[in-house]
Amino acid sequence: MSVLTLEGISQEFGGLRALDGVNMVVEEGEIFGIIGPNGAGKTTLFNIITGIYIPSEGDLIFKERRINRMTTHNIARLGIGRTFQNIRLFNKLSVLDNVRVGSHGISRSGFFKSLLGLPSMLREEKEIKSRAEELLELVGLYDKKMEYADNLAYGEQRRLEIARALALKPSLLLLDEPAAGMNSGEKVELMKLIEQIRQEMKLTILLVEHDMSLVMNICERIAVLDYGRKIAEGPPEEIKNDERVIQSYLGVGA
Amino acid sequence: MNGLDAAITQYIDPYYLRIMILLGINIILALGLNLITGVTGQLSMGHAGFMSIGAYTSAILSMQFGFSYLMALLAGAMVAAFFGFLIGIPTLRLEGDYLAMVTIGFAEIIRVFFLNFEPGGKAVGLSGIPQHTNFITVWLIALLIIALNTRLLKSRMGRAFYAIRENEIAAASTGIDTTRLKILAFTVGSFLGGLGGGLYSHYMYYINPQDFGFMKSIELLNMVILGGMGSIPGTILGSFILTLAPEMLRIVAEYRLLFYGALLVILMIFRPNGILGDVRIYDLKKRWGRKEVKTCQS
């Protein structure tokens, strides 16, 4: 079953056509990679899927539901979690609080309940906290749960973003350059982590990445964007040998 | 309770009593502004506007419509909250400097409105307001507000407010309805502004529109910034310092405002995040704990 379907998505900024009629189908449970040169529209695509931009044309379908006019927070509540290319953590909140905020979309207690401290709210708080701690354990940040987020090292911040996105219990996870700025050891760890969360949480993962070894290793299918157009799609082996992809992105000898 | 108040009035010097009452009112006002500006990160420079709405509404209700003290306070706060809700709506589109401009403009409109408002005594002001506010009522209400505010900020909603301040896009992508929560913060903050205004007018006996001018808004903003944006103990400390400083500085007479300004500059240079802005109880415990270990070893 397809989780996410893009039908003829186009996005214009003034006169610039950042995306031009992109079609894509992401199947349940797969790891789908999007690659392409800088400025090809990869992050724009993520921003459209999460409702930050409204596409100029085309349809966005998540689990048989049209979502292209929905607001960002409502899309998040449907179960689409994401991380950002330029890290967007809540810097002056603790690591634990960052993850706890992550579960906002799936928790209920409103203003008055919070003010009065009703038992149902306290119970929910307990759940949120224990789940946040589990997630921190998973990404290896449990020992730093009381640190401020901006005191973490770069690679740790990337992992914290993943933990925060997972707190939403998403069924689709969007990772925007998760390996950027990581050394090779951290990249191997990251690949293991992505594989593990897909297995354990039955996630579908869509990722944008420049690191070819990572993309080729863990993605089952890859789409290549160039100047807002999709120029190729298929399993890694096929993409590696595609003439147009080599010309526009991978380069000869890759 | 009246007996207790009588005892307090008897044993405490009226001058100090007055400062303590004003401190309690300032804490309530500053906590309201802290929720809007310190916690949610929406720069509001017109908090005195909400204060005046609460002050006038409750004063007029208790003088002319025979409302009981608590009902008048509550009504004043509700009306202020309603206006907070109304001006919260443009905050959907505006940020930072632009929002600051709108809030300054709003507070000025309110001030000019009361300058020409017949039942409010126009520029002469309103006098003869029953003096119901005393030490006990102010501090009971202040403690209640502090307790509720602390609980709110530790809850799911409180974390969401902080998240909006830290990064709005990231907050939305975790499912936070940022627009709704910003309006909520504005409404609750204005409610506290109106409540503080009501307490103020029922203490001062006389109010006039100049009491709630731009300088009052700035003074309240200073309390929040000086103490530490988003921190409840910080805001209380900021209110404490800025309520007491003008009184302490009476010794230097005409140079009072100069010292007041210098104090702000110095504090901002040494503690740019506010005195308690980045201090957490957790860090204090940790530091304290470590010191203990050291003394054991030596």
- In 10 A of CB A23, how many CB atoms? 13
Q: Do A50 and B157 touch (CB under 8 A)?
A: no
When scoring B144, B174, B182, B273 by the number of chain A Cβ atoms within 10 A, the one with the most, hence best to mutate, is B174
If you measure CA to CA, which chain A residue comes closest to B229? A92
Q: Do A104 and B176 touch (CB under 8 A)?
A: yes
When scoring B173, B188, B192 by the number of chain A Cβ atoms within 10 A, the one with the most, hence best to mutate, is B173
Q: Please tell me the predicted confidence (pLDDT) of residue B290.
A: 58
Name which of B158, B170, B178 is nearest A90 (Cβ-Cβ): B170
Q: How confident is the model at residue B79 (pLDDT cuts 50, 70, 90)?
A: very high
- A50: which 2 tokens? 């999460």
Decide if pLDDT at B16 tops 60. yes
**A78 in contact with B, Cβ within 8 Å:** no
Which strands form A2-13's sheet, in the order they lie side by side? A16-27, A2-13, A57-62, A65-66
In B89-212, where does DSSP find H-type helix?
A: 96-115, 135-154, 156-166, 168-172, 178-204
Q: Do B167 and A88 touch (CB under 8 A)?
A: yes
Q: Please tell me the predicted confidence (pLDDT) of residue B253.
A: 66
**A102 in contact with B, Cβ within 8 Å:** yes
CB within 8 A of A84, min separation 6: which ones? A161, A176, B169, B170
Q: Is the ipTM of this complex over 0.85?
A: yes
Q: Please tell me the predicted confidence (pLDDT) of residue B295.
A: 47
Q: Do A128 and B156 touch (CB under 8 A)?
A: yes
Decide if pLDDT at B183 tops 80. yes
Q: How confident is the model at residue B257 (pLDDT cuts 50, 70, 90)?
A: confident
If you measure CA to CA, which chain A residue comes closest to B176? A73
Q: Please tell me the predicted confidence (pLDDT) of residue B294.
A: 47
- In 10 A of CB A53, how many CB atoms? 18
- B46: which 2 tokens? 């017109």
Name the minimum distance, in Å, from the CA of B181 to any CA of chain A.
Answer: 10
Decide if pLDDT at B298 tops 50. no
Q: Please tell me the predicted confidence (pLDDT) of residue A69.
A: 87
**A33 in contact with B, Cβ within 8 Å:** no
pLDDT tens by residue, B215-254: 899 889 989 988 888 889 999 999 998 888 888 877 776 7
**A120 in contact with B, Cβ within 8 Å:** no
Name the minimum distance, in Å, from the CA of A66 to any CA of chain B.
Answer: 18
For the segment B44-71, the average pLDDT, to the nearest whole number, is: 91
* Residue bearing the bigger pLDDT, B146 or B8: B146
Q: How far is CA B249 from the centre of its chain?
A: 22
Q: What angle do CA B221, B225, B230 make, to 5 degrees?
A: 105
DSSP 3-state of B207: strand
> Contact, A160 vs A89, CB < 8 A?
yes
Name which of B167, B278, B282 is nearest A146 (Cβ-Cβ): B282
Cα separation, A239 vs B12, in Å, equals 83
Residues of A in contact with B151 (CB under 8 A): 114-115, 117
Residues of B in contact with A81 (CB under 8 A): 173-174
Closest of B52, B62, B118 to residue B83, by C-alpha: B52
Name the minimum distance, in Å, from the CA of A99 to any CA of chain B.
Answer: 10
**A85 in contact with B, Cβ within 8 Å:** no
Decide if pLDDT at B90 tops 90. no
Where are chain B's structural domains? 2-297
Instruction: Please list the pLDDT of chain A residue by residue as tens digits (254 residues).
Output: 788 999 999 998 888 888 888 899 999 989 999 998 888 888 899 999 999 999 998 999 999 889 888 999 999 999 999 999 999 999 989 999 999 999 998 888 888 888 888 888 888 889 999 999 999 999 999 999 898 998 998 888 999 999 999 999 999 999 999 988 888 888 998 999 999 999 888 899 999 988 888 888 899 999 998 888 888 889 988 888 888 888 877 776 54
The answer to whether domain A2-250 has CATH 3.40.190.100 is: no
DSSP A103-146: TGGG----HHHHHHT-HHHHHHHHHHHHHHHHHHHHHT-GGGTT
Q: Do B171 and A90 touch (CB under 8 A)?
A: yes
> Residue B86 carries which side chain, given as an amino acid letter?
L
- B57: which 2 tokens? 């509404």
Name the minimum distance, in Å, from the CA of A90 to any CA of chain B.
Answer: 5
Q: Do B173 and A93 touch (CB under 8 A)?
A: no
pLDDT tens by residue, A184-243: 888 998 999 999 999 888 899 999 988 888 888 899 999 998 888 888 889 988 888 888
Q: Please tell me the predicted confidence (pLDDT) of residue B78.
A: 95
> Contact, B91 vs B183, CB < 8 A?
yes
- In 10 A of CB B124, how many CB atoms? 11
Decide if pLDDT at B54 tops 90. yes
Q: Do B156 and A97 touch (CB under 8 A)?
A: no
Where are chain A's structural domains? 2-250
Give phi and psi for B126, each to the nearest 5: -115, 125
Q: What CATH number belongs to B2-297?
A: 1.10.3470
